[in-house]
Structure 1
């Protein structure tokens, strides 16, 4: 969780940057926005494998999003990881394996205030899926010699964030996402447990409005 705490502190440092931003300009005529950034995903849910409790370590990855503003306050966003989050699978006896996750989502967002403001917070709610692949087992771990599989996770996603306008076309973004969902865990093709990673994803990025 240390990396999540560190990035959260970095997000809090974005707001004072608004004091150095250019004068606020109405950009309500710019309907599209794209954001490229980096995020840390920290699974906080429960996972069981063959009757054992397991934990997934967090990881970071690049992210991309595209939004269409239906009105000045309401937007529809497509968001996803441009790369994969690599999660180490730990049991009571140490590392048992690893798995890679690549989430993507569609959500509706409400942006408070008006586009003329320098700082605009927003909230959102949507649906996500996370593909898992690259499953590997540790040669000396609890799953040694077996084949690990994790099904696609599906569920709801909640978002909260803030945009800081840097110019009429550019802005900085900080956001926090919670992905709630579960998937089956399989060993040698048989379902032996359930993964509910439900990661908290903290991200920062640079966006363009056009």
Structure 2
């Protein structure tokens, strides 16, 4: 929760800074309208909303943070297609019975269509999106040397966020993403012992540029 609180404070700071910075460009003819590409580098925290059973035993996965990247193509000022993904792996500690029993890494990527509200030069621009994602799982380990395998998850992703224009090129972003995917087979030493349906939620902040 402390990590989520720190991201919220960072967003509040950006909101306080953006209006003054954007106002400096108000008298110029420089505009964000018509720019077709945007890239965003950021940091996101992820937390599974469901937890798997391993060998009939209920487990839970801790959340983690990782760097993220996105690239968007704007069909017009309001409609965009975004490719988004974790630039590094989220590392999840697997717990059961109050203690750690293993770990697994996840790295989601997604393609979404987005609608950005208000004009391109508005200081505050909310947006929503829907798309498709795949989460790749790797580095599965269980204490005691047993081999754990988790099948990759695929499904839908929903996004809601806000861009805060600093000037016609630079902007700050905050977003939340919910991924609802298929159940993934969980295997222990090559034998299926359960299913995982993690359906993670991510909260991210970043800095972007459009051109």
CA deviation vs aligned residue, 1:117-156 (integer Å, no higher than 9, x gap): 1110101111100100111112xxxxx3421001101111
* Matches for 1:132-143 after TM superposition, within 5 Å: 132-138=137-143
- Contact preservation (8 Å) 1:106, 1:128: yes
C-alpha displacement of 1:7: 2.2
Residue in 1 aligned with 2:179? 179
Residue in 2 aligned with 1:200? 201
Residue in 2 aligned with 1:163? 163
Q: Which moved more, 1:20-29 or 1:40-49?
A: 20-29
Q: Distance in 2 between matches of 1:89 and 1:163?
A: 34
Does 2:134 align with 1:129?
A: yes
Q: Distance in 2 between matches of 1:37 and 1:124?
A: 18
C-alpha displacement of 1:93: 4.8
Q: Distance in 1 between matches of 2:152 and 2:122?
A: 40
How high is the TM-score relative to the length of structure 1?
Answer: 0.92
Residue in 2 aligned with 1:55? 60
Residue in 2 aligned with 1:141? none
1:89 pairs with 87, 94, 98, which one?
Answer: 94
- Contact preservation (8 Å) 1:41, 1:202: yes
Residue in 1 aligned with 2:78? 73
Q: Distance in 1 between matches of 2:8 and 2:188?
A: 36
Q: Distance in 2 between matches of 1:190 and 1:104?
A: 28
How many residue pairs match? The answer is 205
Does 2:115 align with 1:114?
A: no
CA deviation vs aligned residue, 1:66-111 (integer Å, no higher than 9, x gap): 0000111110000000000000001115111001111000000010
Q: Distance in 1 between matches of 2:206 and 2:16?
A: 16
Q: Distance in 2 between matches of 1:93 and 1:15?
A: 40
In structure 1, runs of 5+ residues without a counterpart are 139-143
How high is the TM-score relative to the length of structure 2?
Answer: 0.92
In structure 2, runs of 5+ residues without a counterpart are none
Q: Distance in 2 between matches of 1:8 and 1:108?
A: 25
Secondary structure of the equivalent of 2:59? strand
Q: CA RMSD in A?
A: 1.4
